[in-house]
Structure 1
């Protein structure tokens, strides 16, 4: 473990760690979205269907933000877009704490979805700008780790804070986002490449050749990049399976007679496994071909959710969560690294925006499709379908193995990292 932690954190530039810190601060105060449905139904007395509509509107706002945030990151810069996103999020979050009209709440939550999620492609683009290609998998892994640490702590703290009034959740969330913006303003530099030479140190490769002649790459170019869009499509399939934990899993457990407390224990294992295993698992897989990692991760996730159909006790559900969580922590950082490696430097914002759209779309469509399948065909059909979709995603990655084999550079050996860390510090 000590070697894994040392290897995971060595050699990354200091600006990355400030970005990592800002992400952690943001997520530590991320109270509202986790408890929004409970706030609307238990505190405001609104219907479950209205809470579902609000959740869908937040997802729709996130889908818009994925593209909008990516385009803005390329046009006006990563740092300005990130600061606008954080400041707008803080303002909307604070206003939501005082609003009582349901229609206004719905509109503001949709706006919140845009404001909060516009930061995602910016953060991913900054990581791709700052971190050398061979270290991006572990950089994305560390950022994902921060997200999950913050989510776990915020979820636990939000329940205690809510006992003193939900207004404190909204205001606390707004303050955490403002602190995040302050860290970004003072410590995170603008990283948008002005030219291919800036982004590659004067070197050009196949991934950047197009941006050299056309630095203002449009969304049409991104959508016509078949190799990249194949990665986006497979990520969408993976995310559709993964998103079943949000609604289909608790619904299934409820149908089987389990309580909300049982679901809380089961899903809490997901965050615990991510926090404990993210670094050692990705460190242990550092010499495995990234495309192989994606294949195995898709199979694990599909298989884990497929086993849910056989679960009849809380310990069995916990085992299934452990299996698909391993797939989650293997897939997500590696998939993000592929998306970053396939993007021309001057269009990383747009590419990351389209990549983020696959997750926003799955967040919106996955629960809806899951509910439809449960109502129409039963929960067993849904979980069997998850196993099939996971296998389809794995087959898709296998078919792309030759095209993606050399996209990500091999990781730097541990013994070379201290020297690279000094070099990164001097460049900073």
Structure 2
């Protein structure tokens, strides 16, 4: 079944336009870099960096905090200077940061390097998504963003698997693997990616030459976008507790070794690889609000499973629920935001989505690990409540947004 699904996804790639196909390969490599590092980061911080559990989330926060600090000032820069130079600088910066992290010692050095990685990465994901949006017609963006998630999760599946081998040498070696993946991205951009920014877009007009937060973060001006992203932050923050806390939960209960944790995350990523695109096709006629509510229900059930047991079967069930909730919810947000944007501010709107993800990546791990330090089941109880509330709020926001679009002549 995996071979059939994977082959079907690859055959779909054959009809993708060249810039979009390169963007999909970039998602794969960036997914590999994240997958190789993230499952082992908390274990590295606890073991080799001697960071107390309650403070591990702070290092996670530094990683995302650099993105939050940088995005208001450079988040929409791809609308001004082009997609290609932004991607080249970003991939080189992130790759260099991962290499530096391998040689870092102590909390202060690690925090500074993670801030640098965050600043470099602040424009990476939104600009790759913008290349797809530049190339693909609007009515097909949801399918292509689903395919982008497939490619990203192929990387996320390979990353923990390779990382599980690298940690046999040392936990910090996974950072070198991530660095190699980002340098490969830089080579791909330099050698093969054409510029996709359209000449004469709104960003070229003199009347749109504003600077600062108001021009680069449309969430400050677009109330529909701001309302939607607020619920996105809450929903993704609760799901990030699984990513940040599950390795500590499984390791503390002596259920999984560090390599076992990597294998569990590989399993979750493979689920997305196999089922994301078929699931998107099966649900193409379902409303956005229905899919969001379904995602919230599945995520809540994953939290319930973790609250009941820390056994291997329960961890697999929870990871399965987390993966399917992500598949239902993930492609909706970039597609919905792209529908709100225009050619001249598309990268800026995608940067606003990135800000929401950065806030989630900062607040989520910090709160999740702090709650875990207070009690091993506290993150799962809190996650149940927040996931249910955020899914309901986001579904309502989507319905209101679509209703307003229909009333616009």
- TM-score, scaled to structure 2: 0.83
Aligned to 1:395: 392
Q: Judging changes above 3 Å, is the alpha-carbon distance between structure 1 residues 100 and 255 closer, same or farther for their aligned structure 2 residues?
A: closer
**Matching of residue 47 in structure 1 with residue 51 in structure 2:** yes
- Contact 2:42-2:244 at 8 Å conserved across structures: no
**2-side partners of 1:287 and 1:8: how far apart?**
20
Runs of 4+ in 1 over 6 A off after TM superposition: 406-409
CA shift in 2, pair 1:68/1:86, >3 Å = farther
- Given that residues 129 and 350 in structure 2 are in contact (C-alpha distance below 8 angstroms), is that contact kept between their aligned partners in structure 1? yes
After superposition, where does 1:219-234 map in structure 2 within 5 Å?
Answer: 219=216, 221-234=218-231
Q: Does the Cα contact within 8 Å between 1:69 and 1:349 map onto a contact in 2?
A: no
Once the two structures are superposed, residues 375-401 of structure 1 have per-residue CA deviations (whole angstroms, 9 ceiling, x without a partner) of 55x454542332222222232234234
Contact conserved, 1:23 with 1:180, CA < 8 A, in 2?
Answer: no
Tell me if 1:184 matches 2:189.
yes
> Residues 7 and 79 (structure 1 numbering): CA distance in 2 closer, same or farther, change over 3 Å?
same
Aligned residues: 396
Deviation string for 1:298-325 (max 9, x for gaps)?
2322332233222353213322322232
The worse-fitting range, judged by mean Cα deviation, of 143-152 and 182-191 is 182-191
Residue 10 to residue 68, structure 1, CA distance change in 2 (3 Å): farther
Cα contact 2:255–2:310 (8 A) shared by 1: no
The 1:225–1:166 alpha-carbon spacing in structure 2 relative to 1, beyond 3 Å, is same
Consecutive unaligned residues of structure 2, counting only runs of 5 or more, are none
Q: Indicate the residue corresponding to 1:415 in structure 2.
A: none
Which residue is equivalent to 1:20?
24
2 CA distance for matches of 1:231 and 1:138? 21
Q: Provide, for residues 405-428 of structure 1, a one-character-per-residue CA deviation record: whole Å limited to 9, x for no partner.
A: 37999xxxxxxxxxxxxxxxxxxx
Matches within 5 A, 1:197-236: 214=208, 218-219=215-216, 221-236=218-233
Match of 2:235 among 238, 244, 248: 238
Q: CA deviation at 1:137?
A: 1.1
Please say if residues 341 and 408 of structure 1, whose CA atoms lie closer than 8 Å, have aligned partners that are also in contact.
no
2:305 equivalent to 1:314: no
Q: Does the C-alpha gap of structure 1 residues 270 and 68 become closer, same or farther in structure 2, counting only changes over 3 Å?
A: farther
| TM-score normalised per structure 1 | 0.80
| Aligned twin of 1:418 | none
Cα RMSD (Å): 3.4
1:39 and 1:252, CA in 2 relative to 1: closer, same or farther beyond 3 A? closer
Q: How does 1:76-95 map to 2 (within 5 A)?
A: 76-95=81-100
**136, 142, 162: which one pairs with 2:141?**
136
Distance 1:324 1:159, change over 3 A: closer
2: CA distance, partners of 1:101 / 1:197: 46
- Could you tell me how far 1:272 is from its partner in structure 2? 2.5
State how far apart, in whole Å, the 1-side matches of 2:92 and 2:45 are: 24
- Do 1:138 and 1:282's aligned partners in 2 also have CA atoms closer than 8 Å? yes
User: Contact between 1:4 and 1:280, CA under 8 Å: does it hold in 2?
Assistant: no
2:77 and 2:203 map into 1 onto residues whose CA distance is: 19
Match of 1:104 among 104, 109, 115: 109
Aligned-residue offset at 1:61: 1.3
Checking the alignment, whether the CA contact within 8 Å between 1:29 and 1:154 is kept in structure 2 is yes
Classify 1:245/1:71 alpha carbon distance in 2 versus 1 (closer, same or farther; 3 Å): same
Aligned to 2:288: 290
Q: Aligned partners of 2:238 and 2:302: how far apart in 1?
A: 10
* Cα distance in 2 for residues equivalent to 1:254 and 1:336: 34
Q: Could you tell me how far apart the structure 1 residues matched to 2:361 and 2:324 are?
A: 20
